[in-house]
Amino acid sequence: MAAKTVRQNQRTLTKAQKRRFVDAVLTLKRQGRYDEFVRTHIEFYLGDGEGRTRVAHMAPSFLPWHRKFLLEFERALQRVDPGVSVPYWDWTVDRTPAVSLWANDFLGGNGRRSDHQVTTGPFARRHGHWDITESVTDGDFLMRDFGRPDHDPTGLPSKAELAEAMRETVYDTDPWNSLSPGGFRNKLEGWSAERGARVWYNHNRVHRWVSGHMLGAGSVNDPVFWLHHAFVDLCWSRWRAHHPKAEPYLPLREPPIGDPQHDKVVPANDTLPPWDTPVHDLLDHGDLYRYA
Protein backbone atom coordinates (compact mmCIF):
# COMPACT_ATOMS: atom_id res chain seq x y z
CA MET A 1 0.00 0.00 0.00
CA ALA A 2 1.16 3.50 -0.80
CA ALA A 3 2.47 5.68 1.98
CA LYS A 4 -0.19 7.63 3.81
CA THR A 5 -0.89 11.04 2.36
CA VAL A 6 0.35 14.03 4.34
CA ARG A 7 -1.46 17.32 3.91
CA GLN A 8 0.78 20.28 4.63
CA ASN A 9 0.19 23.87 5.54
CA GLN A 10 0.54 25.62 2.18
CA ARG A 11 3.06 28.09 3.66
CA THR A 12 5.53 25.25 4.26
CA LEU A 13 5.48 23.94 0.67
CA THR A 14 8.72 24.07 -1.29
CA LYS A 15 8.81 25.64 -4.71
CA ALA A 16 8.93 22.17 -6.24
CA GLN A 17 5.89 21.01 -4.23
CA LYS A 18 3.90 24.03 -5.34
CA ARG A 19 4.82 23.40 -8.94
CA ARG A 20 3.79 19.75 -8.75
CA PHE A 21 0.45 20.62 -7.15
CA VAL A 22 -0.27 23.31 -9.74
CA ASP A 23 0.78 21.03 -12.60
CA ALA A 24 -1.48 18.21 -11.39
CA VAL A 25 -4.43 20.62 -11.08
CA LEU A 26 -3.81 21.93 -14.60
CA THR A 27 -3.64 18.37 -15.91
CA LEU A 28 -7.04 17.52 -14.37
CA LYS A 29 -8.41 20.67 -15.97
CA ARG A 30 -7.06 19.70 -19.36
CA GLN A 31 -8.55 16.21 -19.00
CA GLY A 32 -11.97 17.63 -18.18
CA ARG A 33 -11.93 15.99 -14.73
CA TYR A 34 -11.65 19.27 -12.88
CA ASP A 35 -14.90 20.61 -14.26
CA GLU A 36 -16.69 17.46 -13.12
CA PHE A 37 -15.83 18.50 -9.55
CA VAL A 38 -17.15 22.00 -10.24
CA ARG A 39 -20.43 20.58 -11.53
CA THR A 40 -20.83 18.19 -8.58
CA HIS A 41 -20.55 21.04 -6.12
CA ILE A 42 -23.06 23.14 -8.04
CA GLU A 43 -25.46 20.22 -8.20
CA PHE A 44 -25.28 19.56 -4.47
CA TYR A 45 -25.76 23.12 -3.28
CA LEU A 46 -29.28 23.28 -1.91
CA GLY A 47 -30.81 25.81 0.45
CA ASP A 48 -32.39 24.51 3.65
CA GLY A 49 -35.65 26.29 2.83
CA GLU A 50 -36.29 24.19 -0.25
CA GLY A 51 -37.94 21.31 1.60
CA ARG A 52 -35.64 18.71 0.06
CA THR A 53 -32.94 16.37 1.33
CA ARG A 54 -29.67 18.27 1.55
CA VAL A 55 -26.26 16.77 2.12
CA ALA A 56 -23.52 19.26 1.31
CA HIS A 57 -24.50 22.56 2.96
CA MET A 58 -26.76 23.79 5.76
CA ALA A 59 -26.80 20.23 7.07
CA PRO A 60 -24.94 17.99 9.54
CA SER A 61 -23.20 16.22 6.66
CA PHE A 62 -21.51 19.46 5.50
CA LEU A 63 -18.25 18.21 7.03
CA PRO A 64 -18.23 14.53 5.93
CA TRP A 65 -19.56 15.45 2.47
CA HIS A 66 -16.70 17.87 1.89
CA ARG A 67 -14.21 15.42 3.42
CA LYS A 68 -15.22 12.86 0.81
CA PHE A 69 -15.25 15.50 -1.93
CA LEU A 70 -11.65 16.44 -1.06
CA LEU A 71 -10.59 12.79 -0.91
CA GLU A 72 -11.98 12.21 -4.39
CA PHE A 73 -10.14 15.27 -5.68
CA GLU A 74 -6.93 14.25 -3.96
CA ARG A 75 -7.15 10.76 -5.49
CA ALA A 76 -7.65 12.33 -8.91
CA LEU A 77 -4.55 14.48 -8.34
CA GLN A 78 -2.57 11.46 -7.23
CA ARG A 79 -3.46 9.57 -10.38
CA VAL A 80 -1.64 12.37 -12.18
CA ASP A 81 1.21 12.64 -9.67
CA PRO A 82 1.29 10.22 -6.71
CA GLY A 83 3.46 12.62 -4.74
CA VAL A 84 0.85 15.40 -4.56
CA SER A 85 -1.62 16.08 -1.76
CA VAL A 86 -4.07 18.90 -1.02
CA PRO A 87 -2.40 21.60 1.08
CA TYR A 88 -4.36 23.62 3.61
CA TRP A 89 -4.71 27.36 4.06
CA ASP A 90 -4.91 28.51 7.67
CA TRP A 91 -6.78 31.75 7.10
CA THR A 92 -6.40 32.78 10.72
CA VAL A 93 -2.67 33.18 10.02
CA ASP A 94 -2.19 33.98 6.31
CA ARG A 95 -4.55 36.89 6.07
CA THR A 96 -3.31 39.34 3.46
CA PRO A 97 -3.08 39.45 -0.34
CA ALA A 98 0.72 39.62 0.09
CA VAL A 99 1.22 36.11 1.49
CA SER A 100 2.93 33.43 -0.59
CA LEU A 101 -0.36 31.59 -1.19
CA TRP A 102 -1.27 34.26 -3.74
CA ALA A 103 2.14 34.53 -5.38
CA ASN A 104 2.75 33.95 -9.08
CA ASP A 105 4.30 30.53 -8.47
CA PHE A 106 1.24 29.23 -6.64
CA LEU A 107 -2.38 30.39 -6.88
CA GLY A 108 -1.82 33.83 -8.38
CA GLY A 109 -3.19 37.04 -6.93
CA ASN A 110 -6.30 39.14 -6.55
CA GLY A 111 -8.55 40.00 -9.49
CA ARG A 112 -8.19 43.41 -11.10
CA ARG A 113 -10.55 46.13 -9.97
CA SER A 114 -12.52 46.58 -13.21
CA ASP A 115 -13.86 43.07 -13.75
CA HIS A 116 -12.24 41.03 -10.95
CA GLN A 117 -10.27 39.04 -13.52
CA VAL A 118 -7.26 37.20 -12.07
CA THR A 119 -4.34 38.17 -14.31
CA THR A 120 -1.38 36.68 -12.44
CA GLY A 121 -0.23 33.15 -11.70
CA PRO A 122 -0.98 29.82 -13.37
CA PHE A 123 -4.78 30.20 -13.27
CA ALA A 124 -4.88 33.50 -15.14
CA ARG A 125 -6.96 33.21 -18.31
CA ARG A 126 -4.25 34.78 -20.45
CA HIS A 127 -1.94 31.80 -19.94
CA GLY A 128 -4.49 29.63 -21.71
CA HIS A 129 -4.74 26.82 -19.14
CA TRP A 130 -7.70 27.90 -17.08
CA ASP A 131 -10.89 28.66 -19.01
CA ILE A 132 -13.98 28.87 -16.86
CA THR A 133 -16.87 26.92 -18.37
CA GLU A 134 -19.02 25.81 -15.40
CA SER A 135 -20.19 29.05 -13.90
CA VAL A 136 -23.15 31.33 -13.36
CA THR A 137 -21.87 34.22 -15.47
CA ASP A 138 -20.49 34.13 -18.98
CA GLY A 139 -16.94 35.37 -18.31
CA ASP A 140 -14.37 32.68 -19.14
CA PHE A 141 -11.75 33.98 -16.68
CA LEU A 142 -11.23 33.26 -12.98
CA MET A 143 -12.42 36.07 -10.69
CA ARG A 144 -11.39 37.22 -7.21
CA ASP A 145 -12.23 40.33 -5.25
CA PHE A 146 -10.36 40.07 -1.96
CA GLY A 147 -12.26 41.70 0.88
CA ARG A 148 -15.03 43.04 -1.40
CA PRO A 149 -13.99 46.70 -1.01
CA ASP A 150 -16.66 48.01 -3.40
CA HIS A 151 -19.62 45.95 -2.19
CA ASP A 152 -19.54 45.01 1.45
CA PRO A 153 -16.03 45.09 2.91
CA THR A 154 -15.33 41.72 4.49
CA GLY A 155 -12.45 40.52 6.62
CA LEU A 156 -11.20 36.99 7.07
CA PRO A 157 -12.36 35.22 10.23
CA SER A 158 -10.11 35.72 13.23
CA LYS A 159 -8.60 33.14 15.57
CA ALA A 160 -11.18 34.16 18.17
CA GLU A 161 -14.04 33.53 15.76
CA LEU A 162 -12.75 30.08 14.93
CA ALA A 163 -12.10 29.37 18.63
CA GLU A 164 -15.76 30.06 19.35
CA ALA A 165 -16.75 27.25 17.00
CA MET A 166 -14.07 24.96 18.44
CA ARG A 167 -15.47 25.46 21.95
CA GLU A 168 -18.83 23.96 21.01
CA THR A 169 -19.30 20.74 22.92
CA VAL A 170 -21.70 18.97 20.54
CA TYR A 171 -21.28 18.25 16.86
CA ASP A 172 -24.63 19.60 15.72
CA THR A 173 -28.05 20.49 17.09
CA ASP A 174 -31.68 20.44 16.08
CA PRO A 175 -33.01 21.74 13.66
CA TRP A 176 -29.87 20.44 11.87
CA ASN A 177 -29.76 23.34 9.41
CA SER A 178 -28.43 26.90 9.07
CA LEU A 179 -30.53 27.94 12.08
CA SER A 180 -29.02 25.40 14.51
CA PRO A 181 -28.43 27.53 17.61
CA GLY A 182 -25.47 25.50 18.84
CA GLY A 183 -23.11 22.85 17.67
CA PHE A 184 -19.73 22.85 16.01
CA ARG A 185 -20.95 22.23 12.46
CA ASN A 186 -23.14 25.32 12.04
CA LYS A 187 -20.62 27.57 13.81
CA LEU A 188 -17.84 26.37 11.54
CA GLU A 189 -19.96 26.43 8.40
CA GLY A 190 -20.73 29.98 9.42
CA TRP A 191 -24.46 30.69 9.49
CA SER A 192 -26.05 32.82 12.16
CA ALA A 193 -28.85 31.05 14.02
CA GLU A 194 -30.75 34.31 14.31
CA ARG A 195 -33.45 34.47 11.67
CA GLY A 196 -32.75 37.11 9.06
CA ALA A 197 -29.40 38.13 10.60
CA ARG A 198 -26.96 39.14 7.90
CA VAL A 199 -23.70 38.06 9.50
CA TRP A 200 -21.47 35.24 8.35
CA TYR A 201 -18.68 33.37 10.06
CA ASN A 202 -15.68 31.12 9.48
CA HIS A 203 -16.17 28.93 6.38
CA ASN A 204 -18.78 31.20 4.78
CA ARG A 205 -16.76 34.32 5.47
CA VAL A 206 -13.68 32.92 3.74
CA HIS A 207 -15.75 32.28 0.61
CA ARG A 208 -16.95 35.89 0.83
CA TRP A 209 -13.49 37.36 1.44
CA VAL A 210 -11.95 35.69 -1.62
CA SER A 211 -15.13 36.52 -3.54
CA GLY A 212 -15.41 36.38 -7.34
CA HIS A 213 -16.03 32.72 -8.17
CA MET A 214 -15.62 31.72 -4.53
CA LEU A 215 -18.77 33.70 -3.72
CA GLY A 216 -21.15 31.63 -5.79
CA ALA A 217 -22.22 28.30 -7.18
CA GLY A 218 -19.00 27.97 -9.17
CA SER A 219 -16.70 28.30 -6.15
CA VAL A 220 -14.74 25.16 -7.05
CA ASN A 221 -13.46 26.99 -10.14
CA ASP A 222 -10.98 28.70 -7.82
CA PRO A 223 -8.37 26.14 -6.74
CA VAL A 224 -8.18 27.90 -3.36
CA PHE A 225 -11.50 26.15 -2.67
CA TRP A 226 -9.54 22.95 -1.93
CA LEU A 227 -7.02 24.64 0.36
CA HIS A 228 -9.84 26.37 2.23
CA HIS A 229 -11.79 23.15 2.69
CA ALA A 230 -8.69 21.21 3.70
CA PHE A 231 -8.35 23.66 6.61
CA VAL A 232 -12.06 23.30 7.43
CA ASP A 233 -11.48 19.53 7.46
CA LEU A 234 -8.45 19.95 9.72
CA CYS A 235 -10.57 22.06 12.10
CA TRP A 236 -13.08 19.21 12.31
CA SER A 237 -10.24 16.83 13.09
CA ARG A 238 -8.96 19.16 15.82
CA TRP A 239 -12.46 19.58 17.23
CA ARG A 240 -12.74 15.82 17.64
CA ALA A 241 -9.41 15.73 19.42
CA HIS A 242 -10.51 18.56 21.76
CA HIS A 243 -13.83 16.86 22.53
CA PRO A 244 -13.00 13.15 22.66
CA LYS A 245 -16.17 12.28 24.60
CA ALA A 246 -18.54 14.04 22.22
CA GLU A 247 -20.42 12.06 19.59
CA PRO A 248 -18.36 12.58 16.43
CA TYR A 249 -21.52 13.07 14.35
CA LEU A 250 -25.15 13.89 14.98
CA PRO A 251 -27.99 13.11 14.52
CA LEU A 252 -27.41 9.43 15.25
CA ARG A 253 -30.71 8.48 13.64
CA GLU A 254 -33.23 9.82 11.19
CA PRO A 255 -35.38 12.55 12.78
CA PRO A 256 -38.80 10.93 13.41
CA ILE A 257 -41.81 11.27 11.13
CA GLY A 258 -43.46 14.57 11.95
CA ASP A 259 -40.15 16.30 12.60
CA PRO A 260 -39.65 18.97 9.91
CA GLN A 261 -36.19 17.53 9.28
CA HIS A 262 -37.45 14.00 8.69
CA ASP A 263 -35.93 12.78 5.43
CA LYS A 264 -34.12 16.12 4.96
CA VAL A 265 -30.75 15.29 6.54
CA VAL A 266 -28.34 12.35 6.57
CA PRO A 267 -28.04 10.65 9.99
CA ALA A 268 -24.93 8.86 11.27
CA ASN A 269 -26.13 5.43 10.16
CA ASP A 270 -26.79 6.46 6.57
CA THR A 271 -24.75 7.04 3.41
CA LEU A 272 -23.76 10.13 1.45
CA PRO A 273 -24.57 10.70 -2.21
CA PRO A 274 -23.26 10.76 -4.84
CA TRP A 275 -20.70 8.22 -3.59
CA ASP A 276 -22.96 6.12 -1.37
CA THR A 277 -20.26 6.32 1.30
CA PRO A 278 -21.36 5.59 4.89
CA VAL A 279 -21.04 8.63 7.14
CA HIS A 280 -19.32 6.32 9.64
CA ASP A 281 -16.47 5.74 7.19
CA LEU A 282 -15.76 9.48 7.07
CA LEU A 283 -15.49 10.26 10.76
CA ASP A 284 -11.83 9.26 11.05
CA HIS A 285 -9.26 9.96 8.40
CA GLY A 286 -6.22 8.52 10.18
CA ASP A 287 -5.95 5.56 7.82
CA LEU A 288 -6.08 7.76 4.73
CA TYR A 289 -4.18 10.95 5.42
CA ARG A 290 -2.83 13.10 8.20
CA TYR A 291 -2.16 16.78 8.66
CA ALA A 292 1.33 18.10 9.21
Q: Which residues contact 171 (CB under 8 A, 6 or more apart)?
A: 60, 183, 184, 185, 246, 247, 248, 249, 250
Q: Between 216 and 255, name the residue whose CB sits nearer to other proteins.
A: 216
Q: Between 66 and 207, name the residue whose CB sits nearer to other proteins.
A: 207
Least distance (Å) between residue 150 CB and other proteins: 9
Least distance (Å) between residue 186 CB and other proteins: 11
Q: Which residues contact 287 (CB under 8 A, 6 or more apart)?
A: 4
Write the DSSP symbol of residue 157.
P
Nearest to 65 by CA among 220, 279, 289: 279
Least distance (Å) between residue 59 CB and other proteins: 11
Q: Between 50 and 284, name the residue whose CB sits nearer to other proteins.
A: 50
Distance (Å, whole) CA 63 – CA 196: 24
Q: Between 5 and 219, name the residue whose CB sits nearer to other proteins.
A: 219
Asked whether 264 and 60 are in contact (CB, 8 A), the reply is no
Q: Between 23 and 259, name the residue whose CB sits nearer to other proteins.
A: 259
Least distance (Å) between residue 84 CB and other proteins: 28
Least distance (Å) between residue 219 CB and other proteins: 7
Cis peptide before 82 (omega within 30 of 0): no
Distance (Å, whole) CA 6 – CA 286: 10
Distance (Å, whole) CA 116 – CA 147: 12
Least distance (Å) between residue 216 CB and other proteins: 5
Distance (Å, whole) CA 213 – CA 145: 9
Cβ burial 45-62 (10 Å sphere, 16+ → b, else e): ebebeeeeebbbbbbbbb
Least distance (Å) between residue 78 CB and other proteins: 29
Q: Between 259 and 281, name the residue whose CB sits nearer to other proteins.
A: 259
Cα dihedral sign for 133, 75, 82, 286?
Answer: positive
Q: Between 217 and 246, name the residue whose CB sits nearer to other proteins.
A: 217
Least distance (Å) between residue 233 CB and other proteins: 18
Distance (Å, whole) CA 15 – CA 144: 23
Q: Between 10 and 135, name the residue whose CB sits nearer to other proteins.
A: 135
Provide the binding-site residues for other proteins, judged by CB under 8 A. Answer: 42, 45-51, 57-58, 115-116, 135-139, 151, 175, 177-179, 190, 195-196, 198, 200, 204-205, 207-208, 215-217, 219, 260
